[in-house]
Structure 1
Amino acid sequence: MKVAAGIPTPSGILEAALYVDDLPAAETFYGEVLGLEQIQRAGDRHVFFRVGRSVLLLFNPDQTERPPTNPDLPVPPHGARGAGHVCLILTREEISTMRKHLLDWNIPVDAEFDWPNGVRSLYVRDPAGNSVEFAEGHLWE
């Protein structure tokens, strides 16, 4: 695929969004179970967590599908239904530790394997059914 000349290339992903139907359950999973730093909660609309230099946005689609009511924040309606996916970076050793930690919380492992390039991945589901992957950071190198 050819990149168009003169088009700025983004340097990374600032935020990623998953949609959940039960914010308190998601808040517990990502905050208490995974230990992510919660940076914002807005009623039953959303809860946001810091992940390194990025932010994981968890939205209730019933709320975000509605048109904005604040003219100072005219975020367009958005939302998705069904399971999404996010991949969080851990070292191989940290993946092993996370696996034990998740099993201690009775969270079943969906899959765990090494990719053809030798990178380890571990997959689980959050309370909304989203696929949460933990992988070594050099997966795409």
Structure 2
Amino acid sequence: MTTPPPLLGTLETALYAADLDEACEFWTRVIGLELIARVPGRHVFFRTATTPRPQVLLVFDPGATAVPPAPDARLPVPPHGASGPGHACLAVAPESLDRWRAHLQASGIAIEADFHWPQGGRSLYFRDPAGNSIELADPAIWAGMPPRTADPDCAER
């Protein structure tokens, strides 16, 4: 077996929502993301970061993306989708979490959890209009996690 080449990080995160207008309203007005692409009945895409490299949140209508592309499609993206709520976590500065909590509550968004992780950092959890679990977190929640090189539950094959 060969060693995989290095990754640069996560470029896209996908969530699914049947009501794309509601999703667009939530992600632009409540969360403040920039809308970068919209195809009615199929998807809305948002920029979440530009540095050190672009990162985007893709919100698809699961019914539209479950359909295979036409044989002559310009962009032959394979079918994909999910049923039930998904999860996405957006990194925020730790000093902004109290402001985020107040902003979400003022926007009528219920906070499901707000806690400090044992390894450091804090997370806020809430739901988007489609029921996806959304987390805003201090990046420190993952900073102290050592790599696992030999894990019997994830054995090499």
TM-score normalised by structure 2 residue count: 0.84
What is the match of residue 82 of structure 1? 84
Q: Is the aligned partner of 1:95 residue 2:92?
A: no
Distance in 1, matches of 2:63 and 2:73, equals: 20
Q: Does 1:30 align with 2:31?
A: no
Percent of aligned pairs sharing the same letter: 49
Q: After superposition, what is the alpha-carbon deviation per residue over 1:31-56, rounded to whole angstroms, capped at 9, x for unaligned? A: 11000011000011000000113100
Rg (Cα) greater in structure? 2
RMSD: 1.2
Whole-angstrom CA distance in 2 between matches of 1:134 and 1:7 = 31
Q: Which residue of 2 aligns with 1:130?
A: 132
Give 5+ residue unaligned stretches, structure 1: none
Please name the residue that 1:119 is paired with: 121
Mapped to 2, the partners of 1:28 and 1:102 lie a distance apart of 14
1:132 aligns to what SS in structure 2? Answer: strand
Q: CA deviation at 1:71?
A: 2.1
Kindly state the Cα deviation for residue 138 of structure 1 after the two structures are TM-superposed.
2.1
| Equivalent residues of 2:43, 2:60 under 8 A apart | yes
List structure 1 segments (4+ residues) > 4 angstroms apart after TM superposition: none
Match of 2:17 in 1: 20
SS in 2 for 1:140: helix
Q: Which has the higher contact order (CA 8 A, sep 6+)?
A: 1
- TM-score of the two chains, using structure 1 as the length reference: 0.93
Deviates more, 1:29-38 or 1:66-75: 66-75
Task: Verify: 1:47 aligned to 2:44, yes or no.
Answer: yes
**How many aligned residue pairs are there?**
138
